[in-house]
Amino acid sequence: MVSYGIDFGTTNTAVIECLFTGHGMSTTKYGENEQPFPSLVALHEEKPPLFGMEVKRRRSQLKADGYIVISSFKSILGTNQSISVGTKRYTSIGVTALFFEYIKASVEQRSGSVMSDAVIAIPVDFTPEQRDALRRAATQAGINVRSLVSEPSAAYIYSKEEIKGASNVAVFDWGGGTLDVSIISADGGNIHELAVAGKRLGGNDIDEMIARHLHARIMQESGIPKAFADMSGAERDQIIDRSEEAKKRLSTEDFALVRLMKYGEKAMTRQNITLEEFQKLTSARIEDAVEVLYQAARKASISLGQLDAILMVGGSCEMQLIVKRLEEIGEEYHIPVVRPDNIQWAVAGGAAILSERKPSYKLQSDFGVLLSDDSIYPIFEAGTQVPCESPVLTFGVVEDTTNAVFILVDGNKNELEHMVIPIKGFTAEGLRLKASIGDDMIARIEIKSTYAEEMGKTACVNQLAFSYCIE
C-alpha cells in the first residue's frame, strides 16, 4: 500500500511516499533538486501560474515580467486576506490549492501512482480556522486529508528507531517560519503528547537579519544611506537569497562570501560574513529558540534531566549554532541530542506513516467547565476516544445577572476558553452546553440559554493534548 505525508512549510514543502509491503517499509522523497519544494507561487493576470524552484530561481525576472510572487502564504491561511493580480483576486485557500495541485502533479508524474490521500503535518499552534482552510485547499487540489498531525509528533514517529528506548523525548522542530517543541512520552506504540510550545521564529527571520546587517554595511561603505525597506523588491530578494546561502555555508565553514549585482549605487559588491560575526548577530535568536524548549518542559511539569533525548528536525536545525547550543544542554543534563539524516524530511515521513497506520486518538486529560468551588465539571474525561460528542449538559443559573461566564479548562485547570453567554437574569431554566471533538483535534463548544437561543455562543479550542497508538 502506498501512503503519502505532506509537511506543508512556510518556506519549503516536503512530500514523502511510504510503500508498505510484507517485507517492511520503503520511502521516496519528492521535491526539486533533491530538496523539498520551495513554497512559492507566481501569478500573472494572463499567463499560467508558476511554482517552486522555478519561481525561486527567477523571482526578480518574474516580477519584472508582471508576475506577483507569493511566499509564506501558509501564514495567511484562515484569514480574510486576499491577493490581487490585475483584475483577479485570489484567496489564501485558492493560492494554497494551486500549490497543492502543483506538488500533486509533480509527485504523480514521478511516481506513476495517484496521490489521492495524505496526512498533513501542521504547527502546534495552528488555529481552527487555519486547519479548516488547509483541508479545503487540499480538497480543491484533489487531495483527501486523512488526518492532521502536529509536526513534532510526526517527526518523532518517523525517527522512532533512531531514539529507540527513549521514553521522554523533546522534539525540537525548527523550520523556515516556525519553531515547535513537543514533549512526548512513549510506551511501545502508545504516544502521549505531554506538552507543546511554539514560536513564530524561523530560518526566514535569520535570513533577513543577515540581509539587514549586510545592507547596513553596504550603505555605510557607499556613503548613501538608504533604509532596507526603501530598496527595490529585486534588491531585497537578492540580498535575502544570498543571505540564506551564506547561512547554509556557515554551517560547515568559518566564513561566507556574499556577491551582489546591482545593489544600491553599486554595480557589484562583495561582502564577507564570518562565523563569529554570524554568531554575534544571531545569539539572541538562538537563546529565544532554546527558551521554547524550557517552556515546553515547564508545561509538561518535567525537568530537562528527565528527558531521554532531544530530537532535532527541520531545516533550521542544520545551523551549527543551534546544534552546538542544544548539545551543550545535552551535556549539562546528560541527554543525547539526535539529528536524523533526513532532517528536512522527517516530519513528512511521520505523516506518511500515519497515513497508512491510522492512529487511535484519546484525550490526554479532562476537559470541562471550571465551577465556582474551583472544581472541574468534566465535559470529556481523560481517555475519551476521538472523535466524540458530549450529551447535552444543562447548567443552572444561580446568580441574578445578565451574563453567565463559562471558563473551559483542561485537567490542570489551565484556561482554554472564556465564554460569556447572555441570560435573562435569575431563572431556573438554565443553559444548555453541547461539545464535540473532531478528527482534526479541535473541540467545538456550543452554549445556548433556554430563554433566547439566538443569543447562544460557540467556540473552538485547539490546545488540548492527545495520546494515540500507531501500532
- Assess contact for 418 and 401: CB atoms under 8 A: no
What pLDDT, on the 0 to 100 scale, is given for residue 466? 78
Q: How far apart are CA 6 and CA 200, in angstroms?
A: 20
pLDDT digits 0-9 by tens, 384-408: 998 999 999 988 765 666 788 899 9
Cell of 224: 548613501
What pLDDT, on the 0 to 100 scale, is given for residue 428? 57
Max mean pLDDT among 31-45, 193-207, 457-471 falls in 31-45
Residue 187 C-alpha from the chain's centroid: 25
Across 92-189, the runs of DSSP E, i.e. the strands, are 117-122, 144-150, 168-174, 179-187
What pLDDT, on the 0 to 100 scale, is given for residue 400? 62
Q: How far apart are CA 312 and CA 202, in angstroms?
A: 14
- Assess contact for 4 and 115: CB atoms under 8 A: yes
What pLDDT, on the 0 to 100 scale, is given for residue 453? 54
What pLDDT, on the 0 to 100 scale, is given for residue 403? 80
For 363-431, the DSSP string reads: ESS-EEEE-TTS-EEEEE-TT-EESEEPPPEEE---S--SEEEEEEEETT--EEEEEEEE--SS-SS-E
What pLDDT, on the 0 to 100 scale, is given for residue 282? 94
What pLDDT, on the 0 to 100 scale, is given for residue 437? 93
Cell of 289: 529558540
What pLDDT, on the 0 to 100 scale, is given for residue 62? 93
- Assess contact for 352 and 5: CB atoms under 8 A: yes
What pLDDT, on the 0 to 100 scale, is given for residue 70? 95
What pLDDT, on the 0 to 100 scale, is given for residue 196? 82
Higher-pLDDT residue of 1, 219: 219
Continuous segment of H or E residues that includes residue 84: strand 82-85
The closest of 371, 401, 380 to 461, measured between CA atoms, is: 380
pLDDT digits 0-9 by tens, 265-317: 888 899 999 999 999 999 999 999 999 999 999 988 899 999 999 999 988 99
Q: What are phi and psi of 422, to 5 degrees?
A: -65, 135
Least confident of 4-18, 317-331, 356-370: 356-370
What pLDDT, on the 0 to 100 scale, is given for residue 288? 96
What pLDDT, on the 0 to 100 scale, is given for residue 212? 95
- Assess contact for 185 and 167: CB atoms under 8 A: yes
The closest of 164, 397, 152 to 292, measured between CA atoms, is: 152
Mean pLDDT across the chain, nearest whole number? 89
What domains lie within the chain, and their CATH numbers?
A: 2-159+342-356 (3.30.420.40), 203-279 (3.90.640.10), 360-469 (2.60.34.10)
Give the number of other Cβ atoms within 10 Å of residue 231's Cβ: 18
Task: List, in order, residues 6 or more apart from 143 with CB less than 8 Å away.
Answer: 100, 104, 115, 116, 117, 118
Average pLDDT over residues 351-378: 86
The closest of 114, 106, 87, 92 to 2, measured between CA atoms, is: 114
pLDDT above 80: residue 424: no
The closest of 424, 422, 426, 392 to 406, measured between CA atoms, is: 422
pLDDT digits 0-9 by tens, 255-264: 999 999 889 8
What pLDDT, on the 0 to 100 scale, is given for residue 399? 61
Least confident of 29-38, 159-168, 214-223, 344-353: 159-168
What pLDDT, on the 0 to 100 scale, is given for residue 176? 87
pLDDT above 80: residue 471: no
Instruction: Give me the helix-helix angle, 275-299 and 203-222, nearest 10°.
Output: 150
The closest of 23, 158, 163 to 470, measured between CA atoms, is: 158
What pLDDT, on the 0 to 100 scale, is given for residue 211? 95
pLDDT digits 0-9 by tens, 89-110: 999 999 999 999 999 999 999 9
Continuous segment of H or E residues that includes residue 353: helix 346-356
What pLDDT, on the 0 to 100 scale, is given for residue 451? 61
What pLDDT, on the 0 to 100 scale, is given for residue 279? 94
What pLDDT, on the 0 to 100 scale, is given for residue 342? 83
Cell of 212: 539587514
pLDDT above 80: residue 2: no
What pLDDT, on the 0 to 100 scale, is given for residue 209? 95
Average pLDDT over residues 371-375: 90
Q: Model's pTM, two decimal places?
A: 0.82
Cell of 398: 444561580
Q: How far apart are CA 389 and CA 436, in angstroms?
A: 4
What pLDDT, on the 0 to 100 scale, is given for residue 19? 82
C-alpha torsion sign, points 297, 436, 452, 449: negative
pLDDT above 70: residue 58: yes
What pLDDT, on the 0 to 100 scale, is given for residue 450? 66
Q: What percent of the chain has pLDDT above 70?
A: 94
What pLDDT, on the 0 to 100 scale, is given for residue 429? 59
- Assess contact for 368 and 376: CB atoms under 8 A: yes
What pLDDT, on the 0 to 100 scale, is given for residue 397? 67
pLDDT above 70: residue 425: no
